[in-house]
C-alpha cells in the first residue's frame, strides 16, 4: 500500500511539471507589448537614467571689514551664476547633472582667516573649485595646491607661476596696466590735470598699484608732487591727507586699497577742503560705499565703474545688465559682481567640455591657448600656463573710466588692455 501511494505521488508531480513547461515548449518566448507610437530599436542599450548630484564651490571673500562691499558684491555674482545654472538643469558631466551649492566663507581680508577657510574647504567640505579673494591668496595657495583645488581669483594679478599650479585669475590686468589704462582715459577727458599726488596702502597689491601710478603719471607728462602710504584698514587719514593737500595737486590718485578705505579717504579729503579731482582706479562702483562718502564728497569722483547698462556698452553687456536687473531690481551691477558671475560660469563651461570634475583635466583647458569659451556673451581667452611663468592665466581685459556727475556715476569710456 505504501509503495502504491509513492507511485501515485510521483505521477502527479511529473504531470504538474509537464503542464508547467508545456507553454514554454509549445511556442516562442513572448515579446513585450510595444508602446503605441514608439518603434523599438534593436540592439540598443537603454540610456541610464541621469543622476542629479551636488557640486560644492567655495567662495572665500571679505564679508566683513573695509573690503566687505567688494566681497558681498562678488558673492552676489557667484549666487547669480549658481541660480542661472541650476535653473537650466545644472552642470552636465556624462550622464549626470550637478546642481551647484555655494559654500561662502568670510576671510575678513586677513590671511589667517583665509587659511582657515581653505582648510575647511579642502578637509571638511571636500571642495575642489573655489572663487577666492585676491588679497589673501598667499595664505590659501599651499592648502589648495595640496588639495588640488582650482582657485579662481576674483580680481587682477600681475602673474602666476609654478608655486600656484591650480590658480587662474578673472582679470587679466596686472596693476601696472590697470593704472595706465585708467589714467590714460582720465587725461583724455581732463587734460587740465597737470600735477598729481599718489596715496596707496602698504601691501603687496598696494605696492604694485603705487609703482604703476608713479610710472604712469610720468609717462603722460604729469608731475607727482606728493606721495604717501598707509596701513590697510586705517580710519584716520587726516594727517596724511593734510600733508598731501598742502602740495596743492590738481588730482589725488588713491591707488591701491580696499573700497571702504577709498571711501573714507574721499570723505576726509573733502572735509579738509580739497576741491580738486579724486581718482580711484580700482574702486569699481562707488554706489556700494555711497553712505560712507556722502553725495557731496562723491561729486566729481573718478572710478573704474563699468556701468554695464550704459548705452556706450556693447549690446551683450546691456543684455546681461537687463538680466541682472530682472533678478535684482534696482541694484547696480558692479565689476566685482560681474567677475563673480563670470568665474562660476567659466567653471561650468570648463567642466562640461572636459567631461569630468577632475581638476587636473579641467586645468588643461585653462592652459590651452586655443580653448574658446564665452565670457559675458563675448569670446573669452586665457593666457599662458606653467611653462609661461610670468604670463597670466587670466580672463577679463578692459578698464573703464566713470565720473560721478550730479550724484550719478556716468561712464565715459573703456580701454582694452593688452596682456603679454
For 45-99, write each residue's pLDDT tens digit: 566 667 899 999 999 999 998 889 889 999 999 999 999 999 999 999 999 999 9
- CA 256 vs CA 158, 162, 237, 349, 369: distances in Å: 14, 26, 15, 32, 30
What per-residue confidence (pLDDT) applies to 382? 64
Together in a domain, 66 and 211: no
Q: Which three cell numbers stand for residue 75?
A: 558673492
Together in a domain, 191 and 247: yes
Q: Which phi and psi angles does 77 have, rounded to 5°?
A: -60, -40
Q: How many other CB atoms sit within 10 Å of the CB of residue 410? A: 12
* Residue burial 231-264, b: 16+ Cβ < 10 Å; e: rest: ebbeeebeebbeebbeeebbbbbbbbbbbbbbbb
What per-residue confidence (pLDDT) applies to 44? 57
- Domain range for 218: 175-307+402-416
Together in a domain, 277 and 406: yes
Together in a domain, 211 and 290: yes
Q: Which of 355, 340, 366, 354 is nearest to 150 (CA)?
A: 366
Q: Give 97: exposed, middle or buried? Use CB within 10 Å, 0-12, 13-18, 19+.
A: middle
Together in a domain, 268 and 409: yes
Residues in the chain, pLDDT under 70: 1-49, 156-159, 172-174, 381-392, 396-397, 418-420
User: Distance between CA 92 and CA 73 in Å, rounded?
Assistant: 27
Q: Which of 67, 52, 97, 61 is nearest to 79 (CA)?
A: 61
Cβ–Cβ < 8 Å for 160, 392? yes
What per-residue confidence (pLDDT) applies to 9? 44
Q: Per the domain annotation, does 31 fall within a domain? A: no
- CA 129 vs CA 147, 161, 175, 337, 348: distances in Å: 10, 19, 25, 18, 11
Together in a domain, 58 and 137: yes
Together in a domain, 256 and 267: yes
What per-residue confidence (pLDDT) applies to 332? 79
Q: Per the domain annotation, does 16 fall within a domain? A: no
Q: Per the domain annotation, does 303 fall within a domain? A: yes
Cβ–Cβ < 8 Å for 243, 228? yes
Together in a domain, 250 and 324: no
Q: Per the domain annotation, does 180 fall within a domain? A: yes
Q: Which phi and psi angles does 54 have, rounded to 5°?
A: -120, 135
Cβ–Cβ < 8 Å for 149, 122? yes
> Cα dihedral sign for 285, 290, 292, 298?
positive
Q: Indicate which CATH number applies to the domain containing 170.
A: 3.40.50.2300
Q: Per the domain annotation, does 26 fall within a domain? A: no
Q: Per the domain annotation, does 45 fall within a domain? A: no
CA 154 to chain centre: 5
Q: Which of 368, 349, 388 is nearest to 129 (CA)?
A: 349
Together in a domain, 298 and 228: yes
The neighbouring-strand residues paired with 96 are 93
What per-residue confidence (pLDDT) applies to 59? 98
Cβ–Cβ < 8 Å for 211, 202? no
Torsion of CA 221, 158, 390, 185, to 10 degrees: -40
What per-residue confidence (pLDDT) applies to 154? 83
Cβ–Cβ < 8 Å for 324, 331? yes
Together in a domain, 150 and 187: no
Q: Give 191: exposed, middle or buried? Use CB within 10 Å, 0-12, 13-18, 19+.
A: exposed
Q: Which phi and psi angles does 389 have, rounded to 5°?
A: -55, 135
Torsion of CA 220, 224, 229, 235, to 10 degrees: -100
Q: Per the domain annotation, does 194 fall within a domain? A: yes
Q: Residue with C-alpha cell 556693447?
A: 314
Together in a domain, 143 and 262: no
* Helical spans, DSSP H, in 315-417: 315-327, 335-354, 359-366
Q: Which phi and psi angles does 411 have, rounded to 5°?
A: -75, 130
* Number of independent structural domains in the chain: 2
Q: Per the domain annotation, does 67 fall within a domain? A: yes
Together in a domain, 390 and 410: no
Q: How far apart are the first and last CA of the chain?
A: 106
What per-residue confidence (pLDDT) applies to 158? 57
Q: Residue with C-alpha cell 558684491?
A: 73
Amino acid at each position: 500500500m505504501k509503495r502504491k501511494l509513492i507511485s501515485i505521488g510521483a505521477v502527479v508531480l511529473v504531470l504538474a511539471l509537464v503542464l508547467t513547461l508545456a507553454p514554454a515548449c509549445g511556442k516562442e518566448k513572448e515579446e513585450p507589448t510595444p508602446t503605441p507610437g514608439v518603434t523599438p530599436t534593436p540592439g540598443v542599450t537603454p540610456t541610464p537614467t541621469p543622476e542629479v548630484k551636488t557640486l560644492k564651490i567655495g567662495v572665500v571673500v571679505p564679508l566683513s571689514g573695509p573690503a566687505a562691499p567688494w566681497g558681498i558684491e562678488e558673492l552676489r555674482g557667484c549666487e547669480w551664476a549658481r541660480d542661472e545654472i541650476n535653473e537650466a538643469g545644472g552642470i552636465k558631466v556624462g550622464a549626470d547633472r550637478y546642481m551647484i551649492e555655494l559654500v561662502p566663507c568670510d576671510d575678513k581680508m586677513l590671511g589667517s582667516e583665509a587659511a582657515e577657510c581653505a582648510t575647511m574647504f579642502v578637509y571638511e567640505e571636500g571642495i575642489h573649485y573655489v572663487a577666492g579673494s585676491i588679497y589673501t591668496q598667499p595664505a590659501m595657495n599651499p592648502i589648495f595646491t595640496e588639495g588640488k583645488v582650482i582657485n579662481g581669483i576674483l580680481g587682477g594679478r600681475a602673474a602666476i607661476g609654478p608655486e600656484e599650479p591650480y590658480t587662474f585669475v578673472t582679470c587679466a590686468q596686472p596693476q601696472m596696466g590697470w593704472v595706465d589704462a585708467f589714467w590714460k582715459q582720465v587725461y583724455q577727458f581732463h587734460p587740465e590735470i597737470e600735477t598729481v599726488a599718489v596715496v596707496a596702502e602698504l601691501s603687496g597689491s598696494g605696492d604694485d598699484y603705487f609703482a604703476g601710478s608713479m610710472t604712469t603719471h610720468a609717462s603722460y607728462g604729469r608731475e607727482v608732487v606728493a606721495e604717501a602710504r598707509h596701513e590697510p584698514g586705517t580710519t584716520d587719514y587726516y594727517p596724511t591727507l593734510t600733508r598731501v593737500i598742502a602740495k596743492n595737486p590738481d588730482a589725488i590718485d588713491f591707488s591701491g586699497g580696499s573700497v571702504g578705505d577709498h571711501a573714507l579717504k574721499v570723505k576726509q579729503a573733502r572735509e579738509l577742503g580739497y576741491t580738486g579731482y579724486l581718482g580711484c582706479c580700482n574702486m569699481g562702483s562707488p554706489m556700494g560705499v555711497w553712505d560712507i562718502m556722502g553725495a557731496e564728497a562723491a561729486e566729481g569722483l573718478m572710478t573704474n565703474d563699468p556701468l554695464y547698462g550704459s548705452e556706450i556698452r556693447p549690446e551683450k553687456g546691456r543684455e546681461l545688465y537687463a538680466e541682472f536687473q530682472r533678478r535684482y531690481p534696482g541694484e547696480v551691477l558692479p565689476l566685482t559682481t560681474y567677475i563673480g558671475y563670470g568665474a562660476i560660469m567659466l567653471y561650468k563651461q570648463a567642466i562640461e567640455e572636459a567631461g569630468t570634475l577632475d581638476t587636473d583635466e579641467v586645468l588643461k583647458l585653462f592652459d590651452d591657448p586655443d580653448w574658446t569659451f564665452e565670457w559675458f556673451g563675448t569670446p573669452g581667452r586665457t593666457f599662458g600656463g606653467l611653462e609661461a611663468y610670468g604670463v597670466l592665466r587670466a580672463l577679463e581685459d578692459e578698464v573703464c573710466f566713470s565720473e560721478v556727475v550730479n550724484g550719478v556715476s556716468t561712464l565715459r569710456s573703456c580701454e582694452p588692455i593688452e596682456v603679454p
